[in-house]
Amino acid sequence: MVLCVRARAKYELESASYLWLMVEPAMQGAAHRVAQASVVTNPTVASEYRQDLYGNTVRLFVLPQGQFTFEFNAQVQVEPNTGVPPGAFEHSPQELPTDASIYTLPSRYCQSDLLARMAIDEFGGLPPGGGRVRAIAAWVRQHVEYRYGTTDAMTSAYDTATERIGVCRDFAHLVIAFYRGLGIPARYISGYALGLEPPDFHGYAQVYLGCAWHNLDATCADERPALIPIAEGRDAADVAVATLWCRSNMVEQSVEVWCNT
Amino acid sequence: MVLCVRARAKYELESASYLWLMVEPAMQGAAHRVAQASVVTNPTVASEYRQDLYGNTVRLFVLPQGQFTFEFNAQVQVEPNTGVPPGAFEHSPQELPTDASIYTLPSRYCQSDLLARMAIDEFGGLPPGGGRVRAIAAWVRQHVEYRYGTTDAMTSAYDTATERIGVCRDFAHLVIAFYRGLGIPARYISGYALGLEPPDFHGYAQVYLGCAWHNLDATCADERPALIPIAEGRDAADVAVATLWCRSNMVEQSVEVWCNT
Amino acid sequence: MVLCVRARAKYELESASYLWLMVEPAMQGAAHRVAQASVVTNPTVASEYRQDLYGNTVRLFVLPQGQFTFEFNAQVQVEPNTGVPPGAFEHSPQELPTDASIYTLPSRYCQSDLLARMAIDEFGGLPPGGGRVRAIAAWVRQHVEYRYGTTDAMTSAYDTATERIGVCRDFAHLVIAFYRGLGIPARYISGYALGLEPPDFHGYAQVYLGCAWHNLDATCADERPALIPIAEGRDAADVAVATLWCRSNMVEQSVEVWCNT
Amino acid sequence: MVLCVRARAKYELESASYLWLMVEPAMQGAAHRVAQASVVTNPTVASEYRQDLYGNTVRLFVLPQGQFTFEFNAQVQVEPNTGVPPGAFEHSPQELPTDASIYTLPSRYCQSDLLARMAIDEFGGLPPGGGRVRAIAAWVRQHVEYRYGTTDAMTSAYDTATERIGVCRDFAHLVIAFYRGLGIPARYISGYALGLEPPDFHGYAQVYLGCAWHNLDATCADERPALIPIAEGRDAADVAVATLWCRSNMVEQSVEVWCNT
């Protein structure tokens, strides 16, 4: 399937500043390939790339004071999203590769140390494996209400476990914290999804089972038909779409994803 | 039934200070009558009484620097504890008397505003009344592990909802927060109980159903055979056994409750 | 000085429900007297009054499903607000009257137990009394930014101590928590104020010094010229303007206060 | 200077389990070189090594149920600890290398997003550079009391900012959160220190200034004479001395560091 992606934003900067932008998927991922892509900015400014510790590509800008807009366009070839196989097995700690081990530890928004007892209490009795992982996502979908505008950048899994309301980011943080609480590596993915209502940047989880990473989007019962990852990290703190080093105001932002057929 | 109660403590005060002590049950309560009681202190110091806003009696001391010990002894006639009648009805907000209304509001350790959605999600579907109130206590007993020494004076219902471990005080705070989240008046009682293991001061809840307050001790499945209230309040912050206004050290403390037969 | 007060709100109720309304000042207070007052509602519904534990008057309604509006109008004779006398003395715990003692304890939004060490660290070295109380308010005004729309009904003094941004309610909660952390009785007042920009319901503190309660509005360096208290309590949880027992939506709300000269 | 290090611990495992152990410094670091080292365990069990995402070496064990003890001994050649040069400059975000950038982001125990306003309020007016970094450590040392046994594994910088008491780990988390709140890369180091009283594993910070990482130990006014790093990470969650995957009990633990002269 070929998807078209367009992401736009306009910022008002109170002073000259730096911008880190993470809206561009890797050219080649496990389940996607970028056919063509472009970033246009106004004013036109030079940019350079850098890789972060997780292997994500960040685009760096030096911006003047005033308005700044960017528009990212891409055509991406995507394989259908398959979700977590119910039979995929959980690993013992000893078997985990290095880049999965790190994702068993607590992080800013996924305080798995605080949530481990709840995870064990609620899900410790289920048979390990993909079935349990899916059951946990179903639990979150059933017990947490999805409602736009109810949470903010400070809301964490610890809050959502009790407050039971939030958006995609909160759903992802909560399942990730539960998985880590059970020793299952889980990471946060920022990306694009087909069929979001309203359209926006998306956040979902990936879990490491059966020697592979699998997509887990706790916000929908069926699998999203297609997911395109932009960046991965321990939680949303690692994969912010835009980081600015000055007082600024986001005037507008829009994301569109559609099927090119 | 006639119970004997003995409570002792020794403090080391770094300077002269005030002490508020709340270890003495009211002479006459809804389900108890104090036959005889005495407080002995060393050094011997004068004290006076005062009533707080909730009608509890507080004993006030002015203490010199150094060691201070008190010993409280009492014989108390107690009616058997009957627990919450499964058929007792919940009141509409309009029917609540003033001194019950206040106990529907959030407090320091019972943040019912934060826990209301969880309460509604978990228990909103149960038929209102005493049966629901008991089911909530059973849920807490099943999902929270009782373990001495795991929590401290800063632990609140919001923590226990997720961390799922604690002592009597934490069990009481959590059920109180759930009840208030459903609009049911619930208050915290500090008191003495027969059969605690290890013996200690006790904390439990009371709920207002069917025009009366009922004991609810979430730490045991069967009813405690006998409970003697010392003081009531919105949560443990209101009914501290001892409050000192100086740096001090509690050297020892013991509580004994036995049946005088 | 004679002030005119008008408060209006419109709610959309998803079902029939109860409403507790606290917008009416006591007819006679320490520094005000209500000359005339009226509450008009649409639809017209009967109401009754009740006193809460703190002596506040609450108006109770039973409302049908659908839209509900109220408009409160009053003329109030007010004495000029004088603020905290720098020379007013702090009391020892033993001297405090019952209805002041309760206001030394922690509450839902004023976790003075958690903030006591910070209070002592920052202000413990200042000479006790009204001067210290004013210095603490000045510290909060200097270190916390006043900005509309940055906090919500869950924000507490514990958050504001670190996050350093908020509105009148947050300013009041933080000074109250600091005062209690130093053993100074402090309570939360909801009320009306002349000269708020934008006009709104107001929240401020009162402290007990020199055998009297004094107004302390941490949001302005000079004293507010006039303050009219509606209700007092341990924090904002006790004095909500309107409490509804159903899913509802506040469609609009406005407050006007002007000088009748 | 040559230091001898001995670290011992005994665990009681309720079942067979995995152990990740991080007590061994890298053979060669920026300011140390390990002359000889050994790990002895009882029972004797095989182990293997793995590198984590930050480049730390973790030793992995599969342990039987029952008691397990390890003893680590090493002789380490250490350069004197020099601390942060007052004149070292802060970098712009654009200049930061990848492995420093990650350390500007919030993490589990260093919620720099929540603490940024406090950091800017308290320290934003100081001239950037090593002098400011040292002033922040001095502020923490002055405002936070060092006291053993007051905090636990759940205490974070957000707590310490207000509660103002803790141990080395808490001091490190708080300065790290402040540095990140100002855009200065800061990471957490677990290690050994000469002269700790009582002796224990140590935790301190490193900051990235003037193209280099510098030690910053907020628990002492003078520089520690010698610091030996074991592992680095975003906070203490990344560098736990021992991680066990079963219910277990630490029976004893001791650390000794002495000068071999």
What is the average pLDDT value for chain A, to the nearest integer? 95
Determine contact, residues A62/D94, Cβ cutoff 8 Å. Answer: yes
Answer whether C245 sits within 8 Å of B183, measured CB to CB.
Answer: yes
Say whether residue D143 is in contact with chain C using an 8 A CB cutoff.
yes
The predicted complex's ipTM stands at: 0.93
DSSP state of C153: T
Distance CA C164, CA B104 (A): 30
Residue D55 neighbours by CB under 8 Å, 6+ apart? D232
CA dihedral angle for residue D26, residue D32, residue D33, residue D35, rounded to 10 degrees: -110
Residue B43 neighbours by CB under 8 Å, 6+ apart? B64, B68
Please give, one letter per residue, the 3-state secondary structure of D117-155. HHHHHHHCCCCCCHHHHHHHHHHHHHHCEECCCCCCCCC
State which residue of chain D sits closest to A52, comparing Cα positions: D98
Residue D161: name the closest of C163, C174, C172, A110 by CA. C163
B49, B58, B105: best to mutate for the C interface, most C CBs within 10 A: B105
Q: Beta strand B145-146 with B165-166: parallel, antiparallel or unpaired?
A: parallel
Q: How many Å lie between the alpha carbon of B100 and the closest alpha carbon of chain A? A: 25
> Is the model's pLDDT at C238 over the cut of 90?
yes
Distance CA D148, CA D178 (A): 23
Residue A193, pLDDT score: 96
Please give, one letter per residue, the 3-state secondary structure of D158-214. HHHHHHCEECHHHHHHHHHHHHHHCCCCEEEEEEEECCCCCCCCEEEEEEEECCEEE
Distance CA A229, CA A247 (A): 29
Q: How confident is the model at residue D76 (pLDDT cuts 50, 70, 90)?
A: very high
Residue D221, pLDDT score: 84
Say whether residue B163 is in contact with chain A using an 8 A CB cutoff.
yes
Q: How many Å lie between the alpha carbon of C246 and the closest alpha carbon of chain D? A: 33
Structure confidence by residue, pLDDT tens digits, A23-70: 999 999 999 999 999 999 999 999 999 999 899 999 999 999 999 999
Q: Chain C window 170-189: which residues touch B at a Cβ cutoff of 8 Å?
A: 183
Q: What single-letter amino acid sits at C157?
A: A
Determine contact, residues C184/C90, Cβ cutoff 8 Å. Answer: yes
Q: What is the mean pLDDT of residues C91-109?
A: 93
Distance CA A234, CA A106 (A): 8
Q: What is the mean pLDDT of residues C151-166?
A: 95
Say whether residue C237 is in contact with chain D using an 8 A CB cutoff.
no
Determine contact, residues B89/B13, Cβ cutoff 8 Å. Answer: no
Residue B221, pLDDT score: 85
DSSP B208-258: EETTEEEEE-TT-SSPPS-EEEEEEESSGGG--SEEESS-EEEEEEEEEEE
Determine contact, residues C136/C124, Cβ cutoff 8 Å. Answer: no
Determine contact, residues B24/B74, Cβ cutoff 8 Å. Answer: yes
Residue B260, pLDDT score: 83
Backbone angles phi, psi at A131, to 5 degrees: -65, -45
Residue D158, pLDDT score: 97
Q: Strand ranges (DSSP E) for chain B?
A: 2-13, 17-21, 32-42, 47-51, 57-63, 66-78, 145-146, 165-166, 186-193, 202-209, 212-216, 227-233, 242-244, 248-259
Say whether residue D18 is in contact with chain A using an 8 A CB cutoff.
yes
Say whether residue A113 is in contact with chain B using an 8 A CB cutoff.
no
Task: Give me B9's structure tokens.
Answer: 């403590």
Determine contact, residues B4/B38, Cβ cutoff 8 Å. Answer: no
Chains that touch D (3 or more CB pairs under 8 A): A, C
Distance CA A1, CA C92 (A): 76
Task: Give me A55's structure tokens.
Answer: 């292997």
- pLDDT above 90 as % of chain A: 89
Stated as kind and residue range, the H or E segment containing A219 is: none
DSSP state of C28: B
> Is the model's pLDDT at B56 over the cut of 90?
yes
Answer whether D98 sits within 8 Å of A52, measured CB to CB.
Answer: yes
> Is the model's pLDDT at C261 over the cut of 90?
no
CA dihedral angle for residue B111, residue B117, residue B121, residue B124, rounded to 10 degrees: 80
What is the average pLDDT value for chain D, to the nearest integer? 95
> Is the model's pLDDT at D10 over the cut of 90?
yes
B162, B170, B178: best to mutate for the A interface, most A CBs within 10 A: B162
DSSP D3-61: EEEEEEEEEEESS-EEEEE--PPPSB-SSEEEEEEEEEEES---EEEEE-TTS-EEEEE
Distance CA D124, CA D127 (A): 8
Q: How confident is the model at residue C221 (pLDDT cuts 50, 70, 90)?
A: confident
> Is the model's pLDDT at D261 over the cut of 80?
no
Q: Beta strand D2-13 with D66-78: parallel, antiparallel or unpaired?
A: antiparallel
How many alpha carbons lie under 13 Å from residue C133 in its C-beta half-sphere? 30
Distance CA B176, CA B169 (A): 11
Distance CA D258, CA D260 (A): 6
Q: How many Å lie between the alpha carbon of B144 and the closest alpha carbon of chain A? A: 9
Say whether residue C119 is in contact with chain D using an 8 A CB cutoff.
no
Q: What is the mean pLDDT of residues B24-45?
A: 96
Distance CA A96, CA D136 (A): 39
Q: How confident is the model at residue C117 (pLDDT cuts 50, 70, 90)?
A: very high
Distance CA C120, CA A85 (A): 57
Say whether residue D51 is in contact with chain A using an 8 A CB cutoff.
yes
> For residue A134, how many other CB atoms are within 10 A of its CB?
19
Residue A159 neighbours by CB under 8 Å, 6+ apart? A151, A170
State which residue of chain C sits closest to D174, comparing Cα positions: C162
Structure confidence by residue, pLDDT tens digits, A215-256: 999 999 888 989 999 999 999 999 999 999 888 999 999 999
| B115 vs A contacts (CB less than 8 Å) | 162
Nearest CB partner across the interface for D115, out of C117, C162, C165 = C162
- C201 CB burial (10 A radius; 0-12, 13-18, 19+): buried
Determine contact, residues A30/A198, Cβ cutoff 8 Å. Answer: no
| D114 vs A contacts (CB less than 8 Å) | 154
- Using the structure block, give the residue that is written with the tokens 């990212």: A72
Structure confidence by residue, pLDDT tens digits, C13-72: 999 999 999 999 999 999 999 999 999 999 999 999 999 989 999 999 999 999 999 999
How many alpha carbons lie under 13 Å from residue D148 in its C-beta half-sphere? 6
Distance, C-alpha A232 to centroid of its chain: 7
Whether the model clears a pTM of 0.90, i.e. scores above it, the answer is: yes
Determine contact, residues C18/C252, Cβ cutoff 8 Å. Answer: no
CA dihedral angle for residue C99, residue C104, residue C108, residue C110, rounded to 10 degrees: 130
Nearest CB partner across the interface for B153, out of C51, C113, C154 = C113
Residue C248 neighbours by CB under 8 Å, 6+ apart? C11, C12, C13, C14, C17
Say whether residue D248 is in contact with chain A using an 8 A CB cutoff.
no
Nearest CB partner across the interface for D143, out of C121, C162, C164 = C121
> Is the model's pLDDT at A99 over the cut of 90?
no
| A245 vs D contacts (CB less than 8 Å) | 93, 183
> Is the model's pLDDT at A108 over the cut of 90?
yes
Distance CA D44, CA B77 (A): 62
Phi-psi sector, B86: left (phi>0), alpha (psi -120 to 50), beta:
alpha
> Would you say how long chain B is, in residues?
261
Strand partners, B73: B6, B38
Distance CA D105, CA A107 (A): 11
Q: How confident is the model at residue D256 (pLDDT cuts 50, 70, 90)?
A: very high
Structure confidence by residue, pLDDT tens digits, A161-198: 999 999 999 999 999 999 999 999 999 999 999 989 88
> Would you say how long chain A is, in residues?
261
Task: Give me B150's structure tokens.
Answer: 């795991």
DSSP state of B153: T
DSSP state of A135: H
Strand partners, D72: D7, D39
Residue D94, pLDDT score: 87
Using DSSP, state whether C146 is helix, strand or coil.
Answer: strand
| D62 vs A contacts (CB less than 8 Å) | 94
Determine contact, residues B122/B139, Cβ cutoff 8 Å. Answer: yes
Say whether residue C113 is in contact with chain B using an 8 A CB cutoff.
yes
- Using the structure block, give the residue that is written with the tokens 């001898």: D4
Q: How many Å lie between the alpha carbon of C90 and the closest alpha carbon of chain B? A: 14
Buried b (16+ CB within 10 A) or exposed e, A252-261: eeebebeeee
Determine contact, residues A258/A3, Cβ cutoff 8 Å. Answer: yes
Determine contact, residues A151/A165, Cβ cutoff 8 Å. Answer: yes
Distance CA D97, CA D95 (A): 6
